[in-house]
Structure 1
Amino acid sequence: MLRNAVHLATLGVRQTRVTNCLPRLPLILQNNPQNAINVQVARDYAKGKDKKKEKGGKGKPGGKVEINEQQLREILNLDGLNSQMQKSVMQMKDDFVKHLSLRSTSGAIDTLRIKVDGQEHELQELAQISRKNPKTIIVNMIGFPQTIPDVLKAIEKSGMNLNPQQDGTTLFIPIPKVTKEHRENLSKNAKALFVKYRDAIRGVQNEHIRKLKKQPELGKDDAFAAQAQVTAIADRFISEADKLLASKQKELLGE
């Protein structure tokens, strides 16, 4: 190979590829500078194969769960389940009417929950409530003056945008104007109430599922099917509550 390299140099070849003899080549050519070889070192790199990652397909959602009331009645108190969940929806609807009106009314103030010494009472149980004029509500606390701080705290946290003024044992509550900020606050309070009652419905659901799991005579397949049906019932009531929320927020925001 060395002879071939020198031979190529004498023939005037300007470029060649020399591999194993590179360290010794300059010594051979130093006496013949006129025939210097422009040596280029080439290196071949093996190209690795691209690895393609297979992406798993997303699972398709399961179909609609069919509720077999007859079978459910045999293993749980279906009427009690429906009653508890329906109660949460109705309580939420009632709270929407009482506490989330654009105009604060004496009716909303009447049922405001006041926490006193660890127990809750409606404001109308602690005070005499009346209207001085269409723009002012009067709350007379002469019967339970010691609860005034608790009442003021409850009014502040009610989200009704009220700013009561105290004069002795009497509270004067101006009814605020309907502003964009007031509407948005009421809408947020509506969402908070929805979350509260949604969680209550889920609580009823989980309670009944726990009871199902404690029935050893119930086969795995039957237990799984029953749990899915209980969850579907809860979803139905939550969907109903969600529609009420959407309607209430639309009303409050003036959309």
Structure 2
Amino acid sequence: MTWKLVLPFITRAKRLVSTHHISSLPRLHHSSLVTHVACIRHRHSSCCNLDSKFALVNNQTMTMHFTYIWARGYVKGKDRGKDKKSDKGKKKVAVNDEQLAELIEINTMRKQMQQAVDRLKEEYVKNLSLRSTTGSIETLPVSFEGKEYQLQELAQIVRKNPKTIIINMAAFPQVIPAALQSIEKSGMNLNPQQDGTALFIPIPKVTKEHRENLAKNAKALFIKCRDSIKEIQNKNVKTVKNNSTVSQDLAFSAQEQIIEIGNQYISQGEMIFDAKQAELIGKD
């Protein structure tokens, strides 16, 4: 770039020398070449300054002065690499259920996710009511001889009065320890008392502490539901990842779609949880 700027002046000087019949150019009185390169943070600039004086005929001095500057601007650090990062993402391809069904068992996946949400609803109805009901106790699961039964299949359950429920375990007394464990872990804040083959369950008063305990159980059940959906979600995402016959763009979009479907079911569960929390956390 320097010679492109200097050359016209040299050519002009030679032309003057030839015109006035001077055999050679006089010695330069002054010449300076200053090159400055500065690099400050993300901005780089360079400038080259050439100031030369030529002695010509008739004792006259002709001064040639020129300056050229070129600069290159760089983006700020926070903006650097944004385009590269966006380029790293795979191209998104629209994927509908029909196309997704060619990669995974989408109907099975949706059914499993819906079952997780339905279980959450069922748990809330049975185990997280402010007032313990006979119906919620009747359906408590109890393990017996390697199988799982509802408590009502192994015992007689009656409500003696508004504050007490009695469970008669005379038909299967050996199940009493398992029944006690199931009742205590039901999340209904129940404290059964054994008298022979009978279990007496005082119905707890609806206190602030009782509400808070139920709310904690509601959150734990929602987390269980959410994790179950995520497990189904991740299993199907892995299936797509391991499919080597699918293009990268299609695989990426299919995985995104699976995650989106899972998140929709998680949102359903979260709405149920929020409604239950609003019901449980109230005034005494």
Task: Check if 1:194 corresponds to 2:222.
Answer: yes
Which shifted more, 213-222 or 64-73? Answer: 64-73
Structure 2 residue matching 1:160: 3-state secondary structure: coil
TM value normalised by structure 2: 0.65
What letter is aligned with 1:162?
A: L
Structure 1 residue matching 2:101: 3-state secondary structure: helix
Task: Check if 1:168 corresponds to 2:196.
Answer: yes
Query: What's the counterpart of residue 144 of structure 1?
Result: 172
Structure with the bigger RCO (C-alpha within 8 Å, sep 6+) is 1
What letter is aligned with 2:229?
A: I
Q: Distance in 2 between matches of 1:56 and 1:94?
A: 50
Q: Which runs of 5+ in 1 are unaligned?
A: 1-49
Measured after TM superposition, the shift of residue 131 of structure 1 is 1.1
Task: Check if 1:222 corresponds to 2:250.
Answer: yes
Give aligned pairs, total. 206
Measured after TM superposition, the shift of residue 112 of structure 1 is 1.2
Task: Check if 1:131 corresponds to 2:131.
Answer: no
Q: Distance in 1 between matches of 2:230 and 2:79?
A: 32
Measured after TM superposition, the shift of residue 222 of structure 1 is 1.0
Task: Check if 1:72 corresponds to 2:100.
Answer: yes
Structure number having the greater strand percentage: 2
Given the superposition, is the C-alpha separation of residues 138 and 82 from structure 1 closer, same or farther in structure 2, using an over 3 Å criterion? same
TM value normalised by structure 1: 0.72
Measured after TM superposition, the shift of residue 185 of structure 1 is 0.4
Query: What's the counterpart of residue 233 of structure 1?
Result: 261
Q: Distance in 1 between matches of 2:240 and 2:265?
A: 20
Q: Is the 8 A contact 1:65 1:228 kept in 2?
A: no
Which shifted more, 200-209 or 117-126? Answer: 117-126
Render the CA deviation track for 1:108-160: whole Å, top value 9, x for unaligned.
10111223465433211221111112221111111111121121122222221
Structure number having the greater helix percentage: 1
Given the superposition, is the C-alpha separation of residues 240 and 173 from structure 1 closer, same or farther in structure 2, using an over 3 Å criterion? same
Structure 2 residue matching 1:162: 3-state secondary structure: coil
Structure 1 residue matching 2:102: 3-state secondary structure: helix
Q: Is the 8 A contact 2:95 2:253 kept in 1?
A: no
Q: 2:137 aligns with which of 109, 112, 119?
A: 109
Q: Distance in 2 between matches of 1:106 and 1:245?
A: 23
Query: What's the counterpart of residue 237 of structure 2?
Result: 209
Query: Percent of aligned positions with the same letter in both sequences?
Result: 54
Structure 2 residue matching 1:74: 3-state secondary structure: coil
Q: Is the 8 A contact 2:94 2:253 kept in 1?
A: no
